[in-house]
Structure 1
Amino acid sequence: MSDITLIINGKKVVVAKGEVENVLAEFDVDEIAELLQFRYATPWNHGKDILEKLLYILEDISYLYSKNPDMKKEDVIRDVKLRIHANINK
């Protein structure tokens, strides 16, 4: 098993080896959208829009668990769908 970790950090995916402090690279939404475009023939603007929305959802999930690590998955899904306690720092 690899000790490479992918971390969602704001609008970036951070690649770290071992400890989180050992960052190897950061890929922003534009770069990931470009990879999506070339690999799956997805129009750049459509891919970027989907990725931005995905990152917002992942950010909300992270925010909710950071506030209450004991939340049930079902409650997190409900809160994200209804934008309850959404991270307002977007």
Structure 2
Amino acid sequence: MRDKAAELATHYVRTHDAADILGISPRTLEKYRCHGGGPVFRKLGGRVVYAIDDIEAWANQSACRSTSDPQYLAARGAGQIRPSANANSAIPGSTRR
């Protein structure tokens, strides 16, 4: 039983470790988790964990050979928050002109 727990611990990392692996801040990873666009995560009890394989898969989705690569635009926008069409309608007194 102890070996299984040790094996699982090596496959999953917490937010700060996942951010270190990706070279981004933990706060950025938290924003991705809230707004979408980041790697797949799991909520185990009160803890958020990331599988190493999921982190690598997410990073590999952004692989490009050059800035003219069609994938580049999608990779560049990874993790960006896209405003909804009704973004201003939720703000009282705001109008869109």
The question of a shared fold, defined as TM-score above 0.5 by the shorter chain, is answered with no
**Going by fraction, where is strand more abundant, 1 or 2?**
1
In the superposition, the TM-score normalised over structure 2's length comes to 0.28
**Using CA pairs below 8 Å that are at least 6 residues apart, which structure has the higher relative contact order?**
2
In the superposition, the TM-score normalised over structure 1's length comes to 0.29
Q: Compare CA radii of gyration and give the structure with the larger one.
A: 2
